[in-house]
Amino acid sequence: MGFKTGIVGMPNVGKSTLFNALTRTAAAQAANFPFCTIEPNTGVVSVPDARLDTLAEIAGSKAILPAQMTFVDIAGLVKGASKGEGLGNQFLANIRECDAIAHVLRCFEDDDVTHVDGRVNPVEDAETIETELMLADLESIEKRLQNLVRKVKGGDKDSLDQQRLLLAAKEALENGKPARTVDIADEDAKTWNMLQLLTTKPVLYVCNVEEENAASGNAHSEAVAKMAAGQGAAAVVISAAIEEEISQLDAEEAEMFLEEMGLHEAGLDRLIKAGYALLDLQTYFTVGPKEARAWTIHKGTTAPQAAGVIHGDFERGFIRAETIAYDDFVEYGGEQGAKEAGKMRSEGKGYIVQDGDVMHFLFNT
């Protein structure tokens, strides 16, 4: 599995330019006027992971299949979106379908690029978007609570659980806090997720800066970082203009370009790493002469659940997993060497998969 991240923000902050760069396409029209993106553009990109290339080389794999993630370029939100301003309701529905939100903030000064509110203040922009999402959630909660009245009076357990969680979310929102700040017990997690509240989505702030500030950031991005830290959120600094240039270069040219700009890695890499951390994700590998492949799972995933990411039959018929840590696979030159060194482990149903595990599943059909 990968994960689906919605790219959101005010109009003209660089969302579509970033999307074009990340997906290496020109699918999203980048234009200097609000609402140039109406239908959400979706792009699937490969997750860069140098470990996969190393494993493939050791195993002599014919094909390399990286993990994938999906970006959705959602049109610019404005104040009043929760009431349908701009193209609000449609876009809020698009956000609801995503696992996380990459909130692009304008952290650059450019008189040639219009700001919908006539000023550059990324913290205020972030607050505007957050407020609209909170208002939309409050409206949704009120409707759901009304629809639950009859079942709650009848003592329906599921409805009572929903009501309790909706009221907890409502209290947080009325106090100016997003629903993700509500402390949810493990046994309530499934019901909570089914509510699909917009402000439960984890948020990553993406500071779009000028090219010359791509390596160090600027005063605007520093203000965003301070805001994010106060929320327990993450922030990354990216120059969408640079990322768009890089997307047109081959690997060697891109590396030279990054070096000239004083950057150690492309913005895509930083964005994915931050996204993985945001959603508590990690990677395991399957490796053989036919292919080397990366699989994305949540931290805390058991071996049978990890097998199920490949195919449901693997999870249902799970017997055991032959597992080698990435470092051991590399150190001992592959599966056979690791096995001879006693580094291959046979793990059962209770094993929690670790990041970088190289796995082979045995199962009943």
Same domain, 163 and 249: yes
Q: Is residue 71 part of a domain?
A: yes
Task: Name the region of 13 (left: φ>0; alpha: ψ -120 to 50; beta: rest).
Answer: alpha
Q: Is residue 26 part of a domain?
A: yes
Alpha-carbon span 218 to 210, nearest angstrom:
9
Decide the pairing of beta strands 63-65 and 68-73.
unpaired
103 contacts: CB under 8 Å, gap ≥ 6: 8, 9, 126, 129, 203, 204, 205, 206
Same domain, 168 and 267: yes
Decide the pairing of beta strands 100-106 and 345-347.
unpaired
Q: Is residue 73 part of a domain?
A: yes
Q: Is residue 102 part of a domain?
A: yes
- CATH number for position 347: 3.10.20.30
- CATH number for position 8: 3.40.50.300
Q: Could you give the residue ranges of the DSSP H alpha helices within 280-311? A: 303-310
Alpha-carbon span 61 to 5, nearest angstrom:
30
Q: Quickly count: other Cβ atoms within 10 Å of residue 50's Cβ.
A: 7
> Pick from 332, 308, 334: which is nearest to 321 by CA?
308
Query: What single letter denotes the amino acid at residue 301?
Result: T
* Boundary (domain end) residue, out of 212, 244, 278: 278
pLDDT by position in tens, the chain (length 365): 557 888 888 888 888 888 888 776 434 333 333 333 335 578 888 888 899 999 999 999 999 999 888 888 886 655 554 454 444 456 677 888 888 999 999 998 877 665 555 678 999 999 988 988 899 899 999 999 999 999 999 999 999 999 999 999 999 999 999 999 999 999 999 999 999 899 999 999 999 999 899 888 999 999 999 999 888 788 999 998 888 888 888 878 888 988 888 888 888 788 888 888 888 899 999 999 999 999 999 999 999 999 999 999 999 999 999 999 999 999 999 999 999 999 999 999 999 999 999 999 999 97
> Pick from 193, 196, 242, 254: which is nearest to 215 by CA?
242
Alpha-carbon span 331 to 334, nearest angstrom:
8
Q: Is residue 284 part of a domain?
A: no
Same domain, 139 and 212: yes
- In the block, residue with structure tokens 């890499």: 269
* Boundary (domain end) residue, out of 247, 278, 309: 278
Same domain, 54 and 93: yes
224 contacts: CB under 8 Å, gap ≥ 6: 105, 107, 122, 123, 126, 205, 207, 235
Same domain, 256 and 190: yes
Alpha-carbon span 277 to 268, nearest angstrom:
14
Give Cα 195 to chain centroid, integer Å: 19
Which residue pairs from 155-161 have beta carbons closer than 8 angstroms and sit at least 24 positions apart in sequence?
A: 158/191, 161/188, 161/191
Which tokens belong to 178? 């997003």
Decide the pairing of beta strands 4-8 and 100-106.
parallel
Same domain, 22 and 104: yes
- Helical (H) or strand (E) element with 236: strand 234-238
Alpha-carbon span 145 to 159, nearest angstrom:
9
Alpha-carbon span 30 to 7, nearest angstrom:
14
Same domain, 166 and 219: yes
Count of domains observed in the chain: 2
Judge whether 81 and 88 are in contact, CB under 8 Å: yes
Q: Domain of 102?
A: 4-278
Query: What single letter denotes the amino acid at residue 244?
Result: E
